[in-house]
Structure 1
Amino acid sequence: METSVRGVSSLERAAILLMSMGEKDAAEILKQMGPKEVQKVGAAMSALKSVSQDTVSSVLNLFLSECGAQSGLGVGSEGYIRNMLTEALGEERARGFLDRILLGGSSSGINSLKWMDPRSVADVIRQEHPQIQAVVLSYLEPDQSASILANFPEKVRLEIMMRIASLESVQPEALKELNVILEKQFSGKGSNPSTTIGGRKTAAEIMNNLDGAVEQELMQSIKDADEDMGNQIQDLMFVFDNLREVEDRGIQALLREVSSEVLILALKGADDYLKEKFFANMSKRAAELLRDDLEAKGPVRIVEVEAAQKEILVVARRMADAGEIQLGGGGEAMI
């Protein structure tokens, strides 16, 4: 079973699983997803061309195996969900995702913004205080927030982004009040633990999704206002995990510019999906040699891995600026 699903990403496995179901069952599952997840899974489903019966069987068996290992006890509790997400996503990413899950049940007003086009969302929050605008954009997906931000004047964009980068937490009561305000707008009517939201990383993810010219202009404005903040955001903007979004031709071009020694070190900190992406864009012989070198390399220091990944990202950014490749947005730093 492992062999049949090797190189198949979790997103592709989800697409295969849904395609194996009846239309009604698949539709019921899609109803439980947010707009970004529906878009990603839908794109993955449409991209499926020829999938072997062995792969389909392996995906189904893996799904059944994972479900069978679950116990009904504790399901739905915050502790269970937190542990599960931390195991799957890592502590930092899981914390932000859990905040959205626990908030989601009582935040229909804010959640409804996820399904609106960027211009409409901008119109909804245009007259709100910049701090409220920052909270809303921190809560939405980075690519949607970037599109919304593009609908504001340059001076307003700067203030909102500075506030997003400065956010650390928001009291749940404040979010509930904001949710009520938004619900009233849609209908035509007029000391708890903090929720993690915003911050430098959120600002970087939004910046990653801005148009190139807007991004450069806004970044320079941020640095003029607070150079340290601007540098911190810029350091978080392009990370190694972004390379999973680069097209195959771009990866092939990047491979021609990177030494095998640097690549080996960088891939020591990559997940299997990203490794397979690089392997798939090499000749069979080169991929086999790289696999062998990775196994023979043994443990390496995190600082060496990070330095190698940064070196590759410098090359990737240079190639992106020259129009030779297109970098993907979003992602998270890897070790």
Structure 2
Amino acid sequence: MPEAMMSAAPGAPVDPEQIAIEVASLSNTQRAAVMLMLLGEDEAASVIRHLAPKEVQHLSAAMISVADLSQEAVSSVLDGFIATIKKQTNIGGGIDYLETVLKSAIGEDKASSVLSRIMPASANRGLEILQWMDARSISEMISSEHPQIIAIVLSFLDYDVAADVLRFLPDTVRAEVISRIATLETIQPTAMQELEVIMRKQFSSNSSLKSSTIGGVKAAARIMNYVKSEVEQGLMARLNAQNPELAQRIQDNMIAFENLAGCDNRSIQALMRAVPPELLMQSLKGADDILKDKFLSNMSARAREMFVEEMDGKGPMRLSDVEEARKQMLRTARKLSDAGEMMLSGRGADYV
């Protein structure tokens, strides 16, 4: 726990500047965690019940990280929340208002997906349960299905979970599954019926039949961002042999390690806090000066000197180790980006 995050000793004088630093270091997720912990167990459980699995994971980690927050910092977070609430003079028009806003912002299909998460009665319960299953269990359930069905299932999962499921699938079908994800556009009711049959085998659940926009090149690229290096190399080689043009389009939309140079300093600092120094050293080995300077400039002079000295002292590293370290860095960066804790610059048009 950083010094700024530790509670002051009982009876010690309160340093307003130190409290300000302590509060400023909190991410939005950590601030939400503070508010949730102030609610009490029953109320907190009522909120968490409506969150997606990935949101529960991020929020739980944040709750642990703020456990030693000083009372003064907690009060400051609460004051900030109240100040924000006071600025809200209109809470909108309920579900209809929310649906209209979401459709305008992200389109009808994505809005339906979001609404299905927060309104359980309209959710696809079979696919929703998949979000709580581990990757190996999901792969065992779908490994014998047609690649098109596998592609549809993976397209509904979070990208990192989909990547893990892909790792457990037979090597012979991985490239075809990624290819089908990249070329998916909509799921027609007939395909949803077939998918529902598979879900019903495990969960006996129902699903409303409606066309849904999923998949696409960017979805395939995001899944590939989470795939381990050894799996990615073989998979891309197969895909390139089958469809070079599609393979190139996926590659163009994948995040490269060099893209981290385009991140703002606050995002770089968030990433550095989330990864061990050893991993950062490995990933920066052989990197260009612009990227190295991006990370080094966000260290103190003393920390920078020690970091460079230790990194240079390690000598040559195997390229495969460096590539795997960079993959792990990118996976962490994607998770931080999905949690809203960093802005991730990438090749795809959906990154800013």
User: TM-score, normalised to structure 2's length?
Assistant: 0.66
Cα distance in 1 between the residues matched to 2:291 and 2:177 = 42
Q: Secondary structure at the match of 1:20?
A: helix
Partner residue of 2:128? 111
Report the aligned-residue RMSD: 3.9
Partner residue of 2:152? 135
* 1:38 to partner: Cα distance: 0.9
Answer yes or no: is the 8 Å Cα contact 1:107–1:176 preserved in 2: no
157-166 or 118-127: bigger deviation? 118-127
Answer yes or no: is the 8 Å Cα contact 2:155–2:219 preserved in 1: yes
1:31 aligns with 2:52: no
1:177 aligns with 2:193: yes
* 1:168 to partner: Cα distance: 2.3
Partner residue of 2:68? 50
Counterpart of 2:58, as a letter, is K
Cα distance in 2 between the residues matched to 1:8 and 1:280 = 21
Cα distance in 2 between the residues matched to 1:157 and 1:38 = 29
Partner residue of 2:114? 101
* 1:248 to partner: Cα distance: 5.6
* 1:225 to partner: Cα distance: 1.6
**Relative to structure 1, is the Cα distance of residues 25 and 149 closer, same or farther in structure 2, using a 3 angstrom cutoff?**
same
**Relative to structure 1, is the Cα distance of residues 174 and 153 closer, same or farther in structure 2, using a 3 angstrom cutoff?**
same
* 1:95 to partner: Cα distance: 7.4
209-218 or 41-50: bigger deviation? 41-50
Alignment of 1:1-335 (within 5 A): 5-48=23-66, 50-68=68-86, 69=88, 71-77=90-96, 78-82=99-103, 86=105, 98-104=111-117, 105-171=122-188, 173-174=189-190, 176-178=192-194, 180-187=196-203, 194-238=211-255, 239-240=259-260, 244-245=270-271, 247=275, 249=277, 254=284, 259=289, 281-283=298-300, 320-321=322-323, 323=325, 326-329=328-331, 330=334, 331=337, 333=346, 334-335=351-352
Answer yes or no: is the 8 Å Cα contact 2:116–2:124 preserved in 1: yes
* 1:179 to partner: Cα distance: 5.9
Partner residue of 2:314? none
Counterpart of 2:234, as a letter, is E
Counterpart of 1:152, as a letter, is L
Answer yes or no: is the 8 Å Cα contact 1:170–1:194 preserved in 2: yes
User: TM-score, normalised to structure 1's length?
Assistant: 0.69
1:253-299 deviation per Cα after TM superposition (whole angstroms, max 9, x unaligned): 859966579968xxxxxxxxxxxxx6994117999xxxxxxxxxxxx
Answer yes or no: is the 8 Å Cα contact 1:4–1:54 preserved in 2: no
Larger Rg: 2
Answer yes or no: is the 8 Å Cα contact 2:149–2:195 preserved in 1: no
**Relative to structure 1, is the Cα distance of residues 50 and 260 closer, same or farther in structure 2, using a 3 angstrom cutoff?**
farther
**Relative to structure 1, is the Cα distance of residues 228 and 65 closer, same or farther in structure 2, using a 3 angstrom cutoff?**
farther
Cα distance in 1 between the residues matched to 2:291 and 2:129 = 48
**Relative to structure 1, is the Cα distance of residues 154 and 285 closer, same or farther in structure 2, using a 3 angstrom cutoff?**
closer
Q: How many residues align?
A: 283
Cα distance in 2 between the residues matched to 1:283 and 1:57 = 30
Answer yes or no: is the 8 Å Cα contact 2:30–2:65 preserved in 1: no
Answer yes or no: is the 8 Å Cα contact 2:151–2:181 preserved in 1: yes
Cα distance in 2 between the residues matched to 1:279 and 1:70 = 44
Counterpart of 1:181, as a letter, is V
Q: Secondary structure at the match of 1:32?
A: coil
Answer yes or no: is the 8 Å Cα contact 2:30–2:63 preserved in 1: yes
Answer yes or no: is the 8 Å Cα contact 2:147–2:176 preserved in 1: yes
**Relative to structure 1, is the Cα distance of residues 121 and 256 closer, same or farther in structure 2, using a 3 angstrom cutoff?**
closer
**Relative to structure 1, is the Cα distance of residues 259 and 200 closer, same or farther in structure 2, using a 3 angstrom cutoff?**
same
Counterpart of 1:71, as a letter, is N
Cα distance in 2 between the residues matched to 1:215 and 1:40 = 26
Answer yes or no: is the 8 Å Cα contact 2:285–2:322 preserved in 1: no
Cα distance in 1 between the residues matched to 2:74 and 2:271 = 24
* 1:49 to partner: Cα distance: 5.2
Q: Secondary structure at the match of 1:328?
A: helix
Structure 2: gaps spanning 5 or more residues:
1-18, 305-318, 338-343
